[in-house]
Every structure is written in C-alpha cells, then in structure tokens.
Amino acid sequence: MAYRDFLEPDQIPSKTDPSGRGAGRTVDTRLVGGDMALRRANGHPSNISGEWLYDPIFKDEDLAELKAWCSPDDPRPLVVEIGFQRARFARAFCLENPGVRYMGFEVRKKFCEDASEYLVAGGVDNARLALVDARQALPELVPPGTLDTLLAFFPDPWWKKRHMKKRLVSRDFAAESADLLKIGGKLIVKTDVEGYADWAEEEMRAEPRFEVTRLEDPAAGLPPTQRERRCAIHGRPTWAMVAIRRT
C-alpha cells in the first residue's frame, strides 16, 4: 500500500469538516461497535462474564457501576485505554500504578473475557473493562474535562483509501479527546506504521487545544504492549505521539 494514501484526505466530507479530513468521525457515523441506543433497542445481550468485565449497553447496573468508577469525585487519576486486546499492557500498568483507575474498552467479546481472567490472575483490582466502542461510551461515562490520560495503542491503520474514514485517529477524535481531558491531560498514540504516525500527528496537531510531540522514546515510558514485544523480536520500529491538553 502506498505511503501517500495515509496523507490524502477522504473524498466524502464530514458534517464538521467539508474538506473530508477525518470524515466519518461524527457522533452519528462512528463505525466500530454500533450506536449504543440502537443496540439497546435492537441487539441482544452478549452474556459475557468476568470479575472486572462490564456490559454497559445491555446492563443498566453495569453502566451505573462504570459511571461511578469514572466519576471525578474519586481523587485517583483516571486512565482510559481504547482497544486493550488481551490486557497485557493493562496488567503491567495497573500493577506498576496501583493508585490509578484504569478503564479499558474493547469490542471483541473473546478479548474481553481473556483480559478479565488475565487481570484477576495477576491480582489486579484497580481496572475495569467494558465490551463497547469507547467512542460511543466515553461521553456517557466520563464528564468533560476530567480525564487524566487517554491511550490508543496500535490502532488499525485501515490501509485502503476507501477505508480511511474508519481510522480511529482523526480531527473529530482529537477534538472529542480534548473535550474529555483535563488541563494537562494526555492523549498518547502508538503505532508500528510510519505513515499512520505521520497521519495521526497531523490530525492531532489540527486540534488547537493540544500541544503535540513526536516522542523520542517510542515506548512513551510505559510498559510494552504485546504488539511492541513482537515488533522488538522482529526488529520493527514503532512510534509514539503525545498530545497535551492546554488552556
């Protein structure tokens, strides 16, 4: 796939950006996981099970518990990861940082159940996992201006040009992240695709409330993810960008 495809805009404009950059990222056109209200009305419960695993779409009590977990009344820092897969990073991070609240989102049931089991086996009790699209759930769970850190590690690059609108990192996503983060809060994005790194950095820099830096340390000072370990084994480089919410 040509590198330039990461840098060309979509051909279909979004409601908030007629140029097409970041198309498909408005609230009513998010792609992964589906609209929460529509799924509640027409979908079926997933019957997931796990110690720290929740279904905020079909279980009102789970939604209430996650809202309490993300409440700004809790003085502990709130860290959110989008797409935790099997929680290899989450367990290491939570054990190294027992004073934080970790909130992870994933749209694959198998990953959620495996991750919950892995966290319990590791003795982690400061994490909560949700089977739902983070972009749908975050505005409902996290009050604006209260999130400390938002993590997006190795999102799908969606190589084909017609799929560019599915990319997680976009100008709309950057704006929504800035809404959630407190002053000084961070959005950290990692990737093993150089074109995606350039794309993500440009999209994040377009948000005026962010100060964006390409980090010299591709690990961003954090425990390695499973993907990073594989990249290290095969000698593949990775990249990390941080966007800090400013006044």
Which amino acids are annotated catalytic? 156
> Hey, how many other C-beta atoms are within 10 angstroms of the C-beta on 110?
10
* Beta-strand relationship, 101-106 and 78-82: parallel
* Beta-strand relationship, 147-153 and 127-131: unpaired
CB 117 within 8 A of CB 159: no
Q: Is 150 exposed, middle or buried (0-12, 13-18, 19+ CB in 10 A)?
A: buried
Hey, which residues does 70 pair with through a beta bridge?
A: none
Q: Give the Cα separation of 237 and 167 in Å (integer).
A: 21
CB-facing half-sphere around the CA of 62: CA atoms within 13 A:
21
Q: Give the Cα separation of 103 and 74 in Å (integer).
A: 13
CB 80 within 8 A of CB 187: no
Query: E strand or H helix at 181, and its extent?
Result: strand 181-191
Q: Give the Cα separation of 189 and 41 in Å (integer).
A: 33
